Copies of this chain bind each other. A is one copy, B any other.
Amino acid sequence: MVNWKIEENGFDEEKATGLGNKFLTGNGYMGIRGTLEEFKREQFPAINLSGIYDQVGNGWREPLNAPNGLFTRILAAGEEYALPEKECLSHKMTLDFRHGIFHRETAFQTVKGKVLLETQRFASMDEKHLICLKVKITPSFDGSLEVLTGIDGDVWDINGPHYDKVETGTEEEVICALGITHENKDEVVVCESFDAAFAAEEVTESAGRKIVRHLKLTVKAGEEYTFYKYISVYTSKDLQGYKEEAKALAVQAKSKGYESLYAKHCSKWEEVWNVSEVLIEGDDEAMESLNYSLYHLHSIAPRHSKSLSIAARGLSGQTYKGAVFWDTEMFMLDFFLFTEPEVAKTLLKYRIDTLEGAKKKAKGYGFNGAFYAWESQEGGFDACSDYNVTDVFTGRPMRTYFKDKQIHISAAVAYGIMRYVQFTGKDDLLKEGGAEVIIECAKFYYSLLVKRVNKDCYELWDVIGPDEYHERVNNNAYTNRMAKLTFDSAVNILENYTEQDSVLYKELYNKFKDAAEHLYIPSPDKETGVIEQFDGYEQLEEVTVSEVKSRLLHEKEYWGGAYGVASHTKVIKQADVVTMVNLFSGEYDKDTLYKNWAYYEPRTEHGSSLSACMYSMLACKCDMAEKAYPFFIKSAKADLVDGGKQWAGLIYIGGTHPAASGGAYMTAVEGFGGLHIENGTLKAESKLPDGWSKLSFKVYYLGELHQVTITKEEARVEKIN
């Protein structure tokens, strides 16, 4: 039996930040960290918003956290009972990850006697601007209690404060807080209506950035005192009249009532699970971890928008600048493409709509076409710094080249678009700008091609591949192959979607065809079968990962860069050649796939959450399900277990890992399930690991939903009528 709940018993302040990620709820518009209602900024609570950013001074530009409408504290005899400041008698948190319901239950010993505080909350899947919170207080004494509940505009920021000011106010029954951002004077408005099932003296108090209702109630031992808050969140970027909308939504929600909203929310979740749930018979742990991963993907899917992507740390906070990386196209896209193609389209439309930013970036470096942002924010602005790492020995910023040399990002975009075309069979995205994006990405790579005068091929020099520990290398196999894919795609576009007498066609067709044909793709070594990761990799020092690690003089020093402990060795950060041969596995025989897996795996640190799934998928393709399994579990549990990096020096870098979640999904369906397209037909193949007796899931292919059922004996793909 799979349990769709996770639970945490007891309170440990040290763990609270990590649990903020693990117990996240969200609906794509916003993510609510799994933190407690009484938390102040020091404990990193956040209602993290998608697609809106702010920069203060020289700090990193990062997404906004809305004023915190969940804020609630109870008082007895004038004293606040709140974690972590007070000790508690007991504490339990649960997350129903089938329906995105957060619940907590805490008992405090007050001076007057025991009080049990319970809350339940959800970010509505039905109404993306709405958060519903239910608070139940059960005292074990007769007497009086107080409650403070309202909106805390003094939000947690990593590089803030992002609100130059926060205005608070009351309009009729609704209290509001309006934050005005520093950079663009964007506005974030939070309104909340309140409904109590008990009588209480109520005063609204505002001070600084906070506005609260101050309730004083007379209580009886053993009775339950329940109230509800309907919290609406809008920004000035959402629509005109956002302030009125916010107020109206808070009022309207109250009139609908909590139970009704809860039911609608749950039924929306059931709708998504109806298509996306993955059943694994024989391995509850795997099924639970995998679906927990899918829960996270669902919680951050931008269903409220037609053009928005997903940040590398989802909606779990401001880490990684809330920026969109290649993670979306290369690791998350398949899940949406297979289960909710319209979300996949939304993700890709974001790239289409940020083409201008990509063109500007390319031009800035003297190239043609579109060079997509390594860390993309609105408009395709590249939030990536030229100095991404601090030298722990000198405290100086180190020049890094992620932004300017990790050129494989544009190919990831082209790959995503073509994958959408392949799986949907539709050309809507191409017509809506996707074709132009691919042509522009091809133009970009074309302008980067170099040819040694005495060689007959084109090369790509001075790049960084997926393995970021080796900077400024020539002919990274992955990058070159992805650039070729881009040229091939552009040729395809020109052949099939462009008039052959158009200027565009005439100008570009032969160039791209020539580039696709002559771009150098490192091939497997004749003796070893191994593909060299980049020119000269084979000459690097042969040394184990643990030996490299033992050379660290400081636990936080960067392994890469010009002089890092890994830089001049064969030790790599993450799957690189393995990513390439996995993506293009059809071009290599199984022996070659295996040889590259076997060669690179022991040389990989897996220092990125993007690494394990690629090794896992490739292991499946090499018929090594047992070797694949631990990597699969690692991906699927990326947000379930502690151990992800939470801090880089004094900077919080924790958060959820949606790329790992997407990777776990891909491993399940494309790895163990062997899902692939063969001559235009969707096929599956049984590559199940030992304990799995059956794997089944639904996927969309060419607009139609298919049931895929895999047992040890067979793999069936059937259209669902």
Contacts from A to B (Cβ < 8 Å): 368, 391, 393-394, 396, 398-399, 446-454, 458-459, 461-462, 472, 511, 515, 553, 561-563, 567-568
Contacts and interface: CB of A to CB of B under 8 A. Distances in A.
Contact of A368 (B394, B396, B448, B454): B454
Contacts of A399: 562-563, 567-568
Q: Lowest 10 CB-CB distances: which A-B pairs, in order?
A: A562-B562, A393-B393, A450-B450, A449-B453, A451-B451, A398-B563, A447-B454, A450-B452, A394-B553, A393-B394
Given A393-B394, A398-B562, A447-B454, 13 more contacts: A396-B553, A396-B563, A398-B563, A399-B562, A447-B452, A447-B453, A448-B452, A449-B454, A450-B453, A450-B459, A451-B451, A451-B453, A561-B562
A290 to B, nearest CB: 42
Contacts of A563: 391, 396, 398-399, 561-563
A659 B368 CA distance: 45
The listed residue with most B CB atoms (<10 A of its CB), out of A446, A452, A553, is A452
A179 to B, nearest CB: 36
* Copies of this polypeptide in the complex: 2
Contact of A446 (B396, B449, B451, B454): B454
Contacts of A461: 450, 461-462
A370 to B, nearest CB: 15
Contacts of A567: 399
A605 B152 CA distance: 55
Contact of A451 (B448, B450, B561, B568): B450
A511 B391 CA distance: 46
Nearest to A514: B453
Contacts of A568: 399
Contacts of A553: 394, 396
Contacts of A459: 450
Nearest to A447: B454
A449 B453 CA distance: 6
A458 B453 contact: yes
Nearest to A472: B472
A451 B450 CA distance: 5
A398 B564 CA distance: 10
Contacts of A446: 453-454
A659 to B, nearest CB: 29
A452 B459 CA distance: 9
Contacts of A447: 452-454
A446 B455 CA distance: 11
A391 B557 CA distance: 14
Nearest to A454: B447
Nearest to A393: B393
A454 B447 CA distance: 6
A515 B461 CA distance: 21
Contacts of A452: 447-450
A188 to B, nearest CB: 37
A450 B450 CA distance: 6
Nearest to A554: B394
Contacts of A561: 562-563
A622 to B, nearest CB: 32
Nearest to A461: B461
A459 B448 CA distance: 13
A454 B443 CA distance: 10
8 contacts: A368-B454, A399-B563, A446-B454, A447-B453, A451-B453, A453-B458, A453-B515, A461-B461
Contacts of A515: 453
A381 B567 CA distance: 27
Contacts of A449: 452-454
A484 to B, nearest CB: 14
A368 B453 CA distance: 12
Contacts of A391: 563
Contacts of A511: 453
A448 B461 CA distance: 13
A561 B453 CA distance: 29
A153 B220 CA distance: 102
A553 B449 CA distance: 40
Nearest to A452: B450
A519 to B, nearest CB: 10
A487 to B, nearest CB: 12
A536 to B, nearest CB: 9
A567 B387 CA distance: 13
A565 to B, nearest CB: 9
Nearest to A518: B453
Nearest to A387: B568
A568 to B, nearest CB: 6
A562 B563 CA distance: 8
Contacts of A394: 393, 553
Nearest to A451: B451
A226 B656 CA distance: 89
A568 B391 CA distance: 15
A499 to B, nearest CB: 24
Nearest to A449: B453
Contacts of A393: 393-394
A523 to B, nearest CB: 17
Nearest to A391: B563
Taking each of A393, A458, A562, which has the highest tally of chain B beta carbons within 10 Å of its own beta carbon? A562
A660 to B, nearest CB: 31
A462 B463 CA distance: 12
A562 to B, nearest CB: 3
A452 to B, nearest CB: 6
A511 B446 CA distance: 25
Which of A446, A453, A462, A562 counts the most B-chain CB atoms under 10 A from its CB?
A453
